[in-house]
């Protein structure tokens, strides 16, 4: 029996409800794609300059694949806004993704294009739940696993995540499956090919075109060459480590602040709101990553209910595992979602937050502002929010829009820690 309670905010709601829930109304942009005319949103954060949801890599692969059989089963892995799963939506689509928000964007864009997205859709998150929310291994499905005619994998930021996505996606491959790995030039490096070559055989390499490249692979190796976990490098990479407060953290691929203590979190811990933590009944770590802030609070106040929330499925799994590792799972609630969706208004005493300063491939303050709004919504009158941000981002000014009495509690050469009360 798991020592914590885990939820998942629904991501199949109609686009209007979801946008109202997330407080953002993204612009619709029209793309005359190789598969047809599409209405698309860069949901939920489009950036201050309103960037588009698609790129040259999407256009290239659609030019190559859109004429294939409409009934073909296709696995699409790691795309940010569901563009390919919408454009190829007449097929039987299996969408593999670690991001709650990317799967929400997929729903939004398929709802905008019902004429294109008429085929079945299945979502695989790395913790696909069977009946009774039984935990399965990454990508595992109850019953026989279908095979796909094509697998399309968009390059992620992290090589660790690429390896995870390859393992999840290639479970749907057979000898006849076309496997495509690609993305924009800034994601390509020698490490990508080194990892891919351990799992697959390269078939055809295409040149960069408008800064985009795709490589075609064939049947995956029956026994991919993987690290056995016993060499010095692998042992060091996966070694459990401790924060200054003695919280043990087990590394998890692609999870923020999982392999070492990042400087922003270190600054936050240096000015941790201890008195507010000790007196709180309900504490939320919003955007929890590996769970360091929330578990530090749980160590200080074992009787408090601790909410760990993140939009990354892997992050929530990691944070929950770290809670168990530290014996802090007594009053834990883990949520995969955006911000603190599903948490009642004015129900939380203390919110801890180290917000991101980018979303997908752009730097933007939109996620942070959304989180500040969420904190104001869930905090009780008199409740406390503490955040940390890079000095150059100006989060202190942004925070004062929502919490006028926000004050600086620590500042170093790179980061500022702010604390504020909800007065009404």
The pLDDT tens digits for 365-386 are 788 889 999 999 999 999 999 9
Q: What is the mean pLDDT of each run of 10 residues along the chain (424 residues)?
A: 46 38 70 96 72 94 80 91 96 95 95 95 70 38 72 94 93 92 92 93 93 90 54 63 96 87 96 98 97 98 97 94 95 95 97 81 77 96 95 84 93 95 85
| Whole-number pLDDT of residue 271 | 98
12-218 against 237-421: fold identical: yes
CATH of span 12-218: 3.40.50.150
For the chain, domain boundaries? 12-218, 237-421
Instruction: Write the DSSP assignment of 317-363 as a string of letters.
Output: HHHHHHHHHTT--TTEEEEESSTTTTSPTT-EEEEEE---SEETTEE
| Whole-number pLDDT of residue 323 | 97
Give the architecture (CATH level 2) of 237-421. 3-Layer(aba) Sandwich (3.40)
- C-alpha distances in Å from residue 357, one per residue of 236, 330, 361, 406, 416: 29, 32, 11, 19, 14
| Whole-number pLDDT of residue 398 | 86
Go through the chain and tell me how many residues it has: 424
Instruction: Write the DSSP assignment of 203-229 as a string of letters.
Output: EEEPPPBTTEEEEEEES--SS-----S
Please, how many CA atoms are within 13 Å of residue 129, restricted to the half-sphere of its CB?
Answer: 9
Tokens of 199: 């799992």
| Whole-number pLDDT of residue 397 | 82
- C-alpha distances in Å from residue 308, one per residue of 121, 163, 328: 29, 26, 12
Residue 196 CA to residue 155 CA, distance in Å, equals 11
Percent of the chain with pLDDT over 70: 81
**What is the rounded (10 degree) CA torsion for 178, 184, 188, 192?**
-30
| Whole-number pLDDT of residue 159 | 92
| Whole-number pLDDT of residue 44 | 80
| Whole-number pLDDT of residue 366 | 83
| Whole-number pLDDT of residue 226 | 52
Distance from the Cα of residue 143 to its chain's centroid: 27
Alpha helix segments (H runs only) across 72-219: 83-87, 100-112, 159-169, 190-199
């Amino acid at each position: 029996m798991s020592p914590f309670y885990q939820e998942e905010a629904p991501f199949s709601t109609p686009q209007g409800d979801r946008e109202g829930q997330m407080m953002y109304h993204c612009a619709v942009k029209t793309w005359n794609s190789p598969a047809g005319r599409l209405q698309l949103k860069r949901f939920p954060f489009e950036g201050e300059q309103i960037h588009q949801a698609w790129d040259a890599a999407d256009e290239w692969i659609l030019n190559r694949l859109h004429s294939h059989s409409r009934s073909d089963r296709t696995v699409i892995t790691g795309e940010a806004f569901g563009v390919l799963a919408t454009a190829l939506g007449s097929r039987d689509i299996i969408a593999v993704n670690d991001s709650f928000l990317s799967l929400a964007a997929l729903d939004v864009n398929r709802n905008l294009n019902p004429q294109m997205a008429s085929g079945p859709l299945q979502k695989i998150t790395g913790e696909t739940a069977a009946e009774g929310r039984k935990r399965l291994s990454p990508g595992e499905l109850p019953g026989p696993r279908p095979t796909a005619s094509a697998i399309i994998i968009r390059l992620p930021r992290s090589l660790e995540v690429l390896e995870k996505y390859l393992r999840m996606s290639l479970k749907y491959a057979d000898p006849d499956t076309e496997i495509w790995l690609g993305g924009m030039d800034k994601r390509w490096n020698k490490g990508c090919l080194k990892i891919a070559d351990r799992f697959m055989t390269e078939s055809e390499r295409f040149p960069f075109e408008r800064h985009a490249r795709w490589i075609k692979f064939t049947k995956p190796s029956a026994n991919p060459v993987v690290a056995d976990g016993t060499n010095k490098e692998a042992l060091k990479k996966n070694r459990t480590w401790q924060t200054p407060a003695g919280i043990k953290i087990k590394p998890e691929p692609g999870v923020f602040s999982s392999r070492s203590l990042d400087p922003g979190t270190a600054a936050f811990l240096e000015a941790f709101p201890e008195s507010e933590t000790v007196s709180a009944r309900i504490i939320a770590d919003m955007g929890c990553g590996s769970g360091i802030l929330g578990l530090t609070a749980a160590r200080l106040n074992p009787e408090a209910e601790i909410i760990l929330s993140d939009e990354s499925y892997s992050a929530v799994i990691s944070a929950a595992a770290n809670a168990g590792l530290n014996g802090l799972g007594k009053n834990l609630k883990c949520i995969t979602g955006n911000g603190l969706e599903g948490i009642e208004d004015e129900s939380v005493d203390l919110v801890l937050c180290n917000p991101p300063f980018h979303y997908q491939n752009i730097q933007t303050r939109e996620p942070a502002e959304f989180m500040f709004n969420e904190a104001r919504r869930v905090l009780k009158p008199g409740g406390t929010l503490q955040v940390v941000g890079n000095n150059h981002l100006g989060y202190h000014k942004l925070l004062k829009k929502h919490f006028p009495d926000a004050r600086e509690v620590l500042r170093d050469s790179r980061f500022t820690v702010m604390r504020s009360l909800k007065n009404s």
